[in-house]
Amino acid sequence: TITKKIACEILEGLISLALKTPLFSQMLTLLDLDADYIRRYLGDLTPLQESCFIRLRQWLQESHKGKIPKDQHVLRFLRARDFSLDKAREFLCQSLTWRKQHQLDFLLDTWERPQLLHDYYTGGWHHHDKDGRPLYVLRLGQMDTKGLVRALGEEVLLKQVLSLNEEGLRRCEENTRVFGRPISCWTCLVDLEGLNMRHLWRPGIKALLRIIEVVEANYPETLGRLLIIRAPRVFPVLWTLVSPLIDDNTRKNGLVDYISKEVIPDFLGGDCMCDIPEGGMVPKSLYRTAEELEGEEYRLLTDSIYKSASIFKGAPYEMLIEISEASSVITWDFDVSKGDVIFNIYHSKRAPQPPKRDTLGAHDRSWLLGKDYSMVEKALICREGESVQGSHVTRWPGFYILQWRFHSSAACTASSLPRVDDVLASLQVSTHKCKIMYYTEVLASHDFRGSMTSLASSHSGFSQLSGTTTSSGQSQASSTISR
């Protein structure tokens, strides 16, 4: 009886250990994706492609907290990088960070198109092509691109294009259900009748190129077919300017016979009514002044209020913040897009000397910890794909240094063995480089809203203070990590 009991305990332990291993977890995930689901929603995948997809999806489930993209969209990023897992993961991680910063998941529900777009933007969705792909019709030759840019600015036009892409993703999902086969991209029919030299207005071309860059970076493999009709002589010039930014996988000329006769728009000689504005010239009375356009912040076209930084092994990235009033609040929000980092906060009473040309960082490397500067928080390890938000109520005036250091996942102490996950992660890191995108702000204590503990979480490494500040009842800190 005792022998059987011991044997049962050993068996239970082995099963428990197996359930925790990545390989066993991947096998269970593979079982969840039956053949019918893959055939209907993802299409034909080779065993290697299917394995890459499973591993990327599993990484998202384990590392990304928040809205996880649909399987079809995850597959788009893999296809865009020829199923290179590391490249696709970095590509997708950057896009998820961008979506979070600009609240793209809520764009269709929150953004209201200006009336000017309803009246003068000559594009819209129109049924589907013969393959079941959603069909978008753009009467570019009838559009006053210069008038729209002058009246609305690049930011509004970009939002318009992004909303079209978000709607396209929805329509692909709907058509997949309707036709019973995977439909992951759409067809764009561009009518160039009326195109002339005014469409080559330099600021308009510049705006178009910037918009294409944003779309290519965040909606890969969504333009399945590009049909161009009634192109005038000026078109080769325009195509020469635009085509280098269109990925080879999405560039394809075709004929209107890709569309069934019954859905060919009436303005092309078909019998189907197409509810797309005819466009026309935007009244110059609606133009914004040059000063208004120059002063506009193109937040979606840049890194917005966030900044990006690279962290190398042995060369941390540091940000110096001068505090003149105690009890001021330093807040931070950053995303780890590549690699693992260690986040620290230090304080110094005196201004650090400007770093030498061959050094990186905000403080002098000759400084001694505990003498020239002190650590005011416990170090926080932040994994790839995590988002970290937090705050610190300063105890003293002086200079605070926010520091991000490279963290080796496989590092371990003499008293502990490396975890399997850490070893696997270290094998996937091709270079000793990490990337973050961050935002910081200093608030006066009376401007800081909400309880300092409202951001605390069970996963927080800043929920308690280090020994250097535990005696202070005025210093508080909190940080939340999400994946």
Q: With DSSP H G I counted as helix, E B as strand and the rest as coil, what are the percentages for the chain, rounded to 5?
A: 40, 20, 35
State residue 342 phi and psi, 5-degree precision. Answer: -115, 125
Quote the distance between the C-alpha of residue 151 and its chain's center.
Answer: 29
* pLDDT exceeds 90 at position 387: no
- Output the six-digit token pair for 320: 């110096």
CATH number of 307-482: 2.60.120.680
What's residue 256's pLDDT?
A: 64
> Quick one: which H or E segment has residue 238?
helix 235-242
Q: Contact at 8 Å (CB) between 353 and 392?
A: no
Task: Kindly report, as residue ranges, where domains of CATH 2.60.120.680 are found in the chain.
Answer: 307-482
What's residue 269's pLDDT?
A: 84
Give the separation between CA 448 and CA 98, rounded to whole angstroms.
26
Give the separation between CA 384 and CA 334, rounded to whole angstroms.
11
Give the separation between CA 28 and CA 203, rounded to whole angstroms.
53
List the one residue out of 165, 135, 139, 163 whose CA is nearest residue 264.
135
Task: Kindly report, as residue ranges, where domains of CATH 3.40.525.10 are found in the chain.
Answer: 107-301
Task: Kindly report, as residue ranges, where domains of CATH 1.10.8.20 are found in the chain.
Answer: 2-105
* pLDDT exceeds 50 at position 57: yes
The Cα-based distances of 114 to 152, 161, 451 in angstroms read 9, 13, 38
Q: What is the CA radius of gyration of the chain?
A: 27
Residue range 103-131, pLDDT digits in tens: 899 999 999 999 999 999 999 999 999 99
What's residue 16's pLDDT?
A: 54
Give the separation between CA 184 and CA 75, rounded to whole angstroms.
9
- At 1, the pLDDT band (50, 70, 90 cuts) reads low
List the one residue out of 331, 361, 360, 333 whose CA is nearest residue 348.
361
Domain 2-105 = CATH 1.10.8.20: yes
Residues paired with residue 191 on neighbouring β-strands, in sequence order: 229
List the one residue out of 432, 436, 377, 374 whose CA is nearest residue 404.
436
What's residue 257's pLDDT?
A: 73
Identify the three-state secondary structure at position 123. strand
Give the separation between CA 433 and CA 86, rounded to whole angstroms.
14
What's residue 295's pLDDT?
A: 58
Please state, as a whole number, how many other Cβ atoms lie within 10 Å of the Cβ of residue 226.
15
* pLDDT exceeds 50 at position 348: yes
- State what percent of residues in the chain have pLDDT above 90: 33
Residues paired with residue 315 on neighbouring β-strands, in sequence order: 312
At 437, the amino acid letter reads M
- Output the six-digit token pair for 268: 């092309």
* pLDDT exceeds 80 at position 409: no
- Better-scored residue on pLDDT, 294 or 138: 138
Which residues neighbour 256 within 8 Å (Cβ) at sequence distance 6 or greater? 189, 227, 229, 264, 268
Average pLDDT over residues 17-31: 47
Please report where in the chains the tokens 């905000």 appear, as a residue.
Answer: 362
CATH number of 107-301: 3.40.525.10
List the one residue out of 100, 68, 10 whose CA is nearest residue 303.
100
Q: Kindly report the average pLDDT of the chain as a whole number.
A: 76
- Better-scored residue on pLDDT, 462 or 333: 333
- Output the six-digit token pair for 144: 């006053």
